[in-house]
């Protein structure tokens, strides 16, 4: 990582990445795909170094008493690395997101407007623990023509260094500049990175809710991601009982620590007497602790009573709040008030109720008779996932490579001036969309 | 404006607008179009009140010694109002941006993913002086299913009140709630508005560079717009002389106060001896003052010498900086360093040079042999313009109604759970795009 140590400051590193990203953006799709392949080759050649570095990180983590969950996420052995390298190659095979014509319009004879996708520029990616994130994000960045400045967790520092050394060596064997990928190693650099709006175009934070909120509150750079994932499943009065129970169990326990797992079950009071005892039993069998409002608690054996704060809490654990509602509208209002605009579902056999729910719930994902756990770029068929965004503006929801490109307008003329199209003798525009 | 005076606080007003925006979003396209028509009708019925209120604003402005430019922008007489009302009706006739399917994909049998456009929610619009902005933005907001909280300049307060009273009366005669449009009247409310990220989804500031920067620096809400418009025209060594001179004149003088007028002319040193004397003469005839670097000054009669600060200054006036460059790359580097990523053009007959310029200049608009003054939503054929964004992320460049919608993912199933698609016996996804 010479260039990193030589960099007089983080701003220099930012400028260097910006310049490298411009070279990368100007490469052909074939050259960018080849650069991704060279990254995979270099990782293959460096398996021994990377695994050895990871063992050092693991030993240090053990000595510091890292939790077993974090330890598992930190671990990168031969098998996991092989699957990550296969992942790099599958990113290389994705359709190229750059250079797509979205608009091609004649404004007048020989005056052609084209809107074309292009890379965003430089990504700032901050992640915790999982060193494989460095591999995935680097592959996605290079495939989409973007430079990236990465900052991994301190506990993964040796592994990340070994990975980035390999990835940059791979780039050096391609037409892409090695400086397009950079690694930061100290925590202090995070705050500085967030101020580099001149050189960094998009921040992608991957970490705890509190961390993402810190990032959102401390930068002018657009942030792709989400803090909370407070997802709901609403059991309508017209729900099919068995399906509804299965959906509730899957949405809560299939992977409770995921952002798209539900935190709250809303139940129409008309179906509560039949649904709740069955659902509570099925959830209890999976080890789920239930916090219920008073009306719901009447149908749940040994239920704890939920407090107001529970409706806005993301447990990321086998805990589920349960609330009865008197109407579909009350369910929608609860979700729009306490939800985090991530993913919310309705279970019902009533098509009209489903239509209203999908129309009125203001979330990135609105589901009818499907588990919220489907909210994921791979399951949506995007091939790769950059993250899930709960911002209102696009990209929203699970974001694939598409979230790493923007567009620019190209106008190609033969000397046209606006004065000819203004005033009483104004020449009219044709505004004719051209076939490709 | 009872609801405004009754509102206990700005947060209440924000919540009220949010609720109204949800009703608006759920209307049919025909109902939203009819709401826009009722806004036009109500304005027609209120011409006398609006013009009278405007006369009071004008009298007060005159007494306070408002500049003639601001006075002209404040003025709203019968003729201008009639043209604004026609503008409302043309917004009503635009294609509906809501409810468009962008993706329709089978994830598995009977599990259908749809990505559909939907309104952003609530817009916060802050504008100076021109009261007609309240009319345009309100029409665009309602057409796209969004609520809007508007804050006009203090000098236009009476006019804005009369306009908003009419517009809300129009909404009350339609299926849309009057509370979808709100007016703020005190300057202090701007700072509060910027904190309402719970109720406002997008801020659109229309005003001075300093004001837009203040907004960008003081809110977590996404901001649509641009601060500086530092646009360039690069005269390549292979430029056609007459065309290049005509482009330079148009791009500078056709409307010098516009953000898409050029501030800097970059000239290849090989063409400077022939181009510069001709261009300088043509520009001087139009009253343009030239600030040149030393090499360029040699070819310009009585040129002033530019200082380093000039390359980063937006004059919004008949002032143009002129700099010679030794190569296309030097021109590109200058633009990427000193430009504001708005709109930049090359004049050349060399197709290869044009291709490189369009590829490597990192701006929302990159033009070949066309005036930068074409950067405008109407000229691009969008029918209406919300603003011009110099952010990297979409929407970028001139933004039409499309910038006021986002999208959500709808997933419609028959009880599918993720557990069936995970593990060693995982059911595969079909990921089949469906024809419409």
- DSSP per position, A115-160: EEEEE--EEEEEE-S-THHHHHHHHHHHHTT-EEEEE--GGGHHHH
Domain boundaries, chain B: 2-95+119-217, 231-374
- CB spacing of B381 vs A429 below 8 angstroms: yes
Angle at which helices A78-93 and A47-64 pack, to 10 degrees? 120
The answer to whether residues A265 and A321 touch, using CB atoms and an 8 Å cutoff, is: yes
- CB spacing of B247 vs A417 below 8 angstroms: yes
The answer to whether residues A137 and A147 touch, using CB atoms and an 8 Å cutoff, is: no
Who contacts B73 (Cβ-Cβ below 8 Å, separation ≥6)?
B129, B130
Q: Which CATH number fits domain A231-374: 3.30.1330.60, 3.40.309.10, 3.90.320.10, 3.30.750.24?
A: 3.40.309.10
Q: How confident is the model at residue B120 (pLDDT cuts 50, 70, 90)?
A: very high
- CB spacing of A413 vs B369 below 8 angstroms: yes
* φ, ψ for residue B405, nearest 5 deg: -120, 155
| Residue of B83, B39, B198, B140 whose CA lies nearest to B405 | B140
pLDDT given at position B6: 40
* φ, ψ for residue B379, nearest 5 deg: -65, -30
User: Per residue in B7-35, pLDDT tens?
Assistant: 458 999 999 999 999 999 999 999 999 99
- DSSP per position, A42-101: HHHHTHHHHHHHHHHHHHHHHHHT--HHHHHHH---HHHHHHHHHHHHHHHHSPP-TT-E
Q: Check residue A423 and give left, alpha or beta (phi > 0: left; psi -120 to 50: alpha).
A: left
| Residue of B192, B265, B226 whose CA lies nearest to B14 | B192
To the nearest 5 percent, what fractions of chain B are helix, strand and coil?
45, 20, 35
- CB spacing of B120 vs A371 below 8 angstroms: no
Residues of B in contact with A255 (CB under 8 A): 418
pLDDT given at position A175: 98
The answer to whether residues B299 and B273 touch, using CB atoms and an 8 Å cutoff, is: yes
- CB spacing of B121 vs A392 below 8 angstroms: yes
pLDDT given at position B418: 97
A342/A226 Cα distance (integer angstroms): 8
Residue B106 in tokens: 């089978």
Pairing of strands A432-433, A101-108: antiparallel
B267/B63 Cα distance (integer angstroms): 47
pLDDT of B66 > 60? The answer is: yes
User: Residue B49: how many CB atoms within 10 A of its CB?
Assistant: 16
- CB spacing of A417 vs B371 below 8 angstroms: yes
- CB spacing of A250 vs B418 below 8 angstroms: yes
pLDDT of A435 > 80? The answer is: no
Who contacts B388 (Cβ-Cβ below 8 Å, separation ≥6)?
B225, B226, B229, B259, B260, B342, B364, B375, B376, B377, B397, B398, B399
Residues of A in contact with B196 (CB under 8 A): none
- Give per-residue burial for B204-236: e unless 16+ CB within 10 Å, then b: bbbbebebbebbbeebebbbbbbbbbbbbbbbb
- CB spacing of B247 vs A107 below 8 angstroms: no
Angle at which helices B272-285 and B241-253 pack, to 10 degrees? 40
Task: With H, G, I as helix, E, B as strand and everything else as coil, classify residue B239.
Answer: coil
Q: Which CATH number fits domain A2-217: 3.30.200.20, 3.40.605.10, 1.10.10.10, 3.40.190.10?
A: 3.40.605.10
Residues of A in contact with B371 (CB under 8 A): 416-418
Which among A22, A254, A415 is the nearest to B246, CB-wise? A415
The residue-averaged pLDDT of B376-382 equals 93
Q: What is the dihedral of CA A323, A329, A335, A341, to 10 degrees?
A: 160
pLDDT of B1 > 60? The answer is: no
The shortest C-alpha distance from A57 to chain B (Å) reads 29
Pairing of strands A405-416, B365-370: parallel
| Radius of gyration of chain A from its Cα atoms, rounded to whole angstroms | 25
Element containing residue B40 per DSSP (H, E): helix B29-45
pLDDT given at position B435: 73
The shortest C-alpha distance from B344 to chain A (Å) reads 10
Q: Where are the beta strands (DSSP E) in A246-318?
A: 262-268, 289-292, 304-305
The answer to whether residues A390 and A383 touch, using CB atoms and an 8 Å cutoff, is: no
pLDDT given at position B72: 86
Class of domain B2-95+119-217: alpha beta
The answer to whether residues A365 and A376 touch, using CB atoms and an 8 Å cutoff, is: no
Q: How confident is the model at residue A8 (pLDDT cuts 50, 70, 90)?
A: low
Residues of B in contact with A111 (CB under 8 A): 370, 374
Which among B107, B217, B381 is the nearest to A105, CB-wise? B381
Residue B362 in tokens: 């990192």
The shortest C-alpha distance from B55 to chain A (Å) reads 28
Nearest CA in chain A to B410: A366
- CB spacing of A412 vs B370 below 8 angstroms: yes
Taking chain A, what is the end-to-end CA distance rounded to the nearest angstrom? 45
Place of tokens 């000595």: A63
Taking chain B, what is the end-to-end CA distance rounded to the nearest angstrom? 45
The shortest C-alpha distance from B358 to chain A (Å) reads 7
Strand order in the sheet with A202-206: A181-184, A147-151, A122-127, A202-206
pLDDT of A4 > 50? The answer is: no
Which among A22, A120, A429 is the nearest to B360, CB-wise? A22
User: Per residue in B144-166, pLDDT tens?
Assistant: 999 999 999 889 999 999 999 99
- CB spacing of A416 vs B369 below 8 angstroms: yes
- CB spacing of A243 vs B415 below 8 angstroms: yes
| Residue of A337, A335, A357 whose CA lies nearest to A347 | A357
Q: What percent of chain A has pLDDT over 90?
A: 82
Residues of B in contact with A392 (CB under 8 A): 120-121, 201-202, 222, 406
Residues of B in contact with A431 (CB under 8 A): 381
Nearest CA in chain A to B416: A370
To the nearest 5 percent, what fractions of chain A are helix, strand and coil?
45, 20, 35
Which among B121, B336, B418 is the nearest to A373, CB-wise? B418
User: Per residue in A161-188, pLDDT tens?
Assistant: 999 999 999 999 999 999 999 999 888 8
More confident residue, B185 or A407: A407
* HSE-CB of B121 using CA atoms within 13 angstroms: 28
Q: What percent of chain B has pLDDT over 70?
A: 98
Residue B358 in tokens: 């369009």
Residue B218 is classified by DSSP as T
Q: How confident is the model at residue B436 (pLDDT cuts 50, 70, 90)?
A: low
| Residue of A287, A277, A290 whose CA lies nearest to A241 | A277
pLDDT given at position A67: 84
Q: Tell which of A215, A347, A394, A433 to mutate to test the B interface (max B CBs under 10 Å).
A: A394
- CB spacing of B364 vs A409 below 8 angstroms: yes
Residue B43 in tokens: 């304005």
Q: What is the dihedral of CA A266, A271, A274, A278, to 10 degrees?
A: -20
Nearest CA in chain B to A338: B198
B398/B364 Cα distance (integer angstroms): 8
Q: What percent of chain A has pLDDT over 70?
A: 98
- CB spacing of A429 vs B220 below 8 angstroms: no
Residue A258 is classified by DSSP as S
- CB spacing of B121 vs A362 below 8 angstroms: yes
- Indicate the average pLDDT of chain B: 93
A328/A267 Cα distance (integer angstroms): 9
The answer to whether residues B319 and B291 touch, using CB atoms and an 8 Å cutoff, is: yes
Evaluate the CA torsion angle B101, B107, B112, B118 in order and state its sign: negative
Residue B425 in tokens: 């016996």
Nearest CA in chain A to B359: A26
């Amino acid at each position: 990582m010479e260039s990193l140590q030589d960099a007089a400051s983080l701003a220099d590193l930012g400028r260097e990445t910006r310049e490298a990203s411009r070279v990368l953006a100007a490469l052909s799709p074939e050259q960018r795909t080849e650069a991704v392949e060279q990254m995979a080759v270099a990782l293959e050649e460096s398996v021994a170094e990377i695994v050895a570095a990871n063992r050092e990180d693991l030993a240090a983590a053990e000595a510091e008493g890292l939790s077993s969950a974090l330890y598992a996420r930190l671990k990168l052995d031969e098998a996991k690395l092989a699957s990550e390298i296969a992942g790099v190659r599958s990113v290389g095979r994705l359709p190229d997101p750059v250079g797509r014509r979205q608009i091609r319009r004649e404004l007048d004879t020989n005056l052609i407007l084209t809107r074309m996708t292009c890379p965003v520029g430089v990504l700032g990616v901050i992640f915790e623990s999982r060193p494989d994130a460095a591999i995935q994000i680097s592959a996605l960045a290079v495939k989409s023509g973007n430079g990236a400045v990465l900052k991994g967790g301190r506990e993964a520092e040796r592994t990340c260094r070994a990975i980035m050394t390999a990835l940059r060596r791979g780039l050096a064997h391609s037409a892409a500049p090695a400086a397009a990928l950079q690694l930061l190693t100290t925590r202090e650099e995070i705050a500085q990175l967030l101020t580099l709006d001149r050189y960094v175009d998009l921040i992608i934070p991957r970490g705890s809710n509190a961390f993402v909120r810190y990032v959102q509150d401390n930068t002018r750079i657009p942030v792709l991601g989400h803090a909370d994932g407070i997802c709901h499943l609403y059991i309508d009065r017209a729900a099919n009982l068995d399906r509804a129970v299965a959906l509730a169990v899957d949405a809560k326990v299939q992977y409770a620590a995921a952002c798209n797992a539900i935190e709250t079950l809303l139940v129409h009071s008309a179906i509560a007497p039949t649904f709740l005892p069955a659902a509570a039993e099925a959830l209890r069998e999976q080890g789920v602790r239930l916090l219920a409002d008073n009306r719901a608690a009447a149908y749940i054996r040994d239920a704890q009573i939920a407090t107001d704060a529970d409706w806005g809490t993301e447990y990321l654990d086998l805990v589920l709040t349960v609330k009865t509602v008197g109407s579909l509208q009350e369910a929608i209002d609860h979700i729009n008030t306490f939800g985090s605009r991530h993913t919310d579902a309705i279970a019902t056999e009533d098509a009209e109720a489903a239509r209203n729910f999908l129309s009125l719930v203001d979330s990135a994902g609105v589901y009818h008779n499907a588990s919220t756990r489907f909210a994921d770029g791979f399951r949506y068929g995007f091939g790769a996932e950059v993250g899930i965004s709960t911002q209102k503006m696009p990209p929203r929801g699970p974001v694939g490579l598409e979230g790493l490109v923007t567009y620019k307008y190209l106008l190609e003329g033969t000397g046209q001036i606006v004065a000819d199209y203004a005033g009483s003798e104004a020449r009219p525009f044709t505004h004719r969309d051209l076939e490709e």
